[in-house]
Amino acid sequence: MDDTLPPDALLPDGTYDVFIVDADDAEPADGATTPGTMLDLTVTSGPHKAETLVLRSTTWLGDPIDLIGMPATLTVTLGVPSVRVDH
C-alpha cells in the first residue's frame, strides 16, 4: 500500500474525529448564491491527532459562534473532504 499523498491532499482517505477551533461565514463560491462557512479543524484522535486544517464549506453550516467548540466528523473520499457537525 502506498501512503504517498498528492501534494494538495489534506489527509489520507478515511474518517476522522475533529474539533471545530474556529468558524466564520464565507463569501459565496463562484456561481453560488448562498454563503459558505470557513472551518478551522483539529484532528482529535488517531495517527493524525493534533493536525490542523482549514476547510471551506460550499453551504452555510450555521452561526459561526455556535459551531466553535463543536465536535465533528471529517470524511475524506478520493481526496475530497466533507464535514458533519456532531450536534
The pLDDT value recorded for residue 87 is: 78
Collapse the DSSP code of 42 into the 3-class scheme (helix H, G, I; strand E, B; otherwise coil) and give the result. strand
How is the beta sheet containing 71-77 ordered, strand by strand? 52-57, 36-43, 14-26, 71-77, 80-85
pLDDT band at 9 (very low <50, low <70, confident <90, very high): low
pLDDT tens readout for residues 10-44:
799 999 999 999 999 998 877 767 789 999 999 99
